[in-house]
Amino acid sequence: MKPTSGPEEAQRPASDIRVFASNCSMHGLGHVFGPGSLSLRRGMWAAAVVLSVATFLYQVAERVRYYREFHHQTALDERESHRLVFPAVTLCNINPLRRSRLTPNDLHWAGSALLGLDPAEHPAFRALGRPAPPGFMPSPTFDMAQLYARAGHSLDDMLLDCRFRGEPCGPENFTMIFTRMGKCYTFNSGADGAELLTTTRGGMGNGLDIMLDVQQEEYLPVWRDNEETPFEVGIRVQIHSQEEPPIIDQLGLGVSPGYQTFVSCQQQQLSFLPPPWGDCSSASLNPNYEPEPSDPLSSPSPSLPYTLMGCRLACETRYVARKCGCRMMYMPGDAPVCSPQQYKNCAHPAIDAMLRKDSCACPNPCASTRYAKELSMVRIPSRAAARFLARKLNRSEAYIAENVLALDIFFEALNYETVEQKKAYEMSELLGDIGGQMGLFIGASLLTILEILDYLCEVFRDKVLGYFWNRRHSQRHSSTNLLQEGLGSHRTQVPHLSLGPRPPTPPCAVTKTLSASHRTCYLVTRL
């Protein structure tokens, strides 16, 4: 095959593969579809092009597969700050109710649930110091929330001293909250739009320093051993963010009387990725149980911020409401508060069974704050300070040793850690890898793809649309020729009507191909 000359190549349509190969920026096509006959050189170039394209497609498929696996990586960083928001600190006395505040009506309704005693065991009730008066009649109804609010330990009585960053503080800086342990108090809760307290320095003396009286004389007597019976003395402390509700019965730290406990904190800001790269969530749960919910343990509620502890609390609330038809006093929602009998027979067993089975599937929040803690403690009071504290607090030295504790909570330093999940493979990296493989194996770029698309459009226009256009043009041309032939025969045959001799009859093959108008002309000539 001779090489084509310049004019011949210029006359070829744009859909010709040789024209495309000679002008395309993709390497190797010009050697495969160039001028000349089939040769070993052309075959080797064709094999090289096919192998390169196959390798490129394989690499692209691998990169796309890796991208669709949605890998992530975790980055740990430490940052400095000139001011940090002080965390919320929740305190609960391990003893839920003060024995001096219990009434015969309280013992009638809640004695069995609180002490594990039957109402018939009156001597045990009398041991509390408040025997039922003659003619006692219990109330028709009973509210557990009112019982804990009235008989729970009061912070006005427990708080002996309070300072934040060296400045005095008091019960007005705490917010009362109900937990599973009863009546508790949260410092720096930010409730009702209160301004959050901050600190500008780390170390002891730059945080919260409090001294508490646990009031052991108010502890309920232990008559029987059950899951709710406390054997220890002291308080529970949980350090958490303002957005997260306290789960102090599970996550609280124990602080014992007779000791000063130091808690050094470091703030950690966590950031997780949503699906498909991670499993975090930002949709909170609605604690209200619906009779026929689509998913009884997960109903999104956009009005509440999502937290891990909030999700667990809402899940427990829905579970208890579904099992018992009520909620425990610390649980959110609109369900009625459980009665003492429901507490004993249904709510407590349901919560314990739920915690053992781990029925709540709560993913991590996409953004959260937690606090790493280090504890240390020393005994108080010393022999030298015992007499001074006894005079200051108007208590005996033995009482102070058994009931008084001190708690110091502070930041170790004004820096915080960030734990952030990041996408291990972004879309930009995928496109960059594809572009690199494309340039390495076939020497192409994004403009090459546009050239290929342009060539396919030319092929479609010339081959497909051109075929239908040529067919339609040929049919129109043949119809025009037939019409011209019929009109020509009519002009030559009509004058013979006035002459004597009859013109010869046209053959049948001609009459069969004529149209209706031609048949009319034929009949006229016959006449």
- pLDDT mean over 496-514: 45
Q: pLDDT-based confidence at 129, cuts 50/70/90?
A: low
Of 12-26, 133-147, 172-186, which one has max mean pLDDT?
172-186
d(CA 161, CA 211): 5
pLDDT at 489: 56
Go through 231-269 and write b for each residue having 16 or more CB atoms within 10 A of its CB, e for each that does not.
Answer: eebbbbbbbbbbbbbbbbeeebbebebbbbbbbbbbbeb
Please name every residue paired with 254 in a beta bridge, in sequence order, or none if there are none.
236
pLDDT band at 298; cut points 50, 70, 90: very low
The predicted structure's pLDDT at residue 10 = 53
Residue 285 confidence (pLDDT): 65
d(CA 60, CA 41): 29
Mean pLDDT of 2-29: 67
Question: Do the domains spanning 17-69+428-462 and 73-96+152-272+364-424 agree at the CATH topology level?
Answer: no
Ranking 147-151, 426-430, 514-518 by mean pLDDT, the lowest is 514-518
446-470 pLDDT, tens per residue? Answer: 888 888 888 888 888 887 777 778 7
User: What confidence score (pLDDT) does residue 155 get?
Assistant: 96
Picking from 186-190, 220-224, 504-508, which range would have the lowest pLDDT averaged per residue?
A: 504-508
pLDDT in tens, 70-117: 999 999 999 999 999 999 999 999 999 998 888 888 887 887 766 666
Q: Indicate the pairing of strand 259-271 with strand 404-423.
A: parallel
Which is higher by pLDDT, 26 or 181?
181
What is the percentage of the chain residues whose pLDDT exceeds 70?
Answer: 78
For the stretch 314-349, pLDDT in tens is 888 999 999 999 999 999 888 899 988 888 889 988
Output the pLDDT for position 409: 97
Cβ contact 27:39 at 8 Å: no
- Domain extents for the chain? 17-69+428-462, 73-96+152-272+364-424
Tell me the HSE value of 26 on the side-chain side, using a 13 A CA sphere.
Answer: 24
User: Which residues have CB under 8 Å from 364's CB, separation 6+?
Assistant: 270, 272, 278, 279, 280, 281, 308
CATH topology of domain 17-69+428-462: Helix Hairpins (1.10.287)
In the chain, % helix, strand, coil (3-state, to 5) comes to: 45, 20, 35
Position 511 scores a pLDDT of 39
Of the two residues 520 and 274, the one the predictor is more confident about is 274
CATH class as words, domain 73-96+152-272+364-424: mainly beta
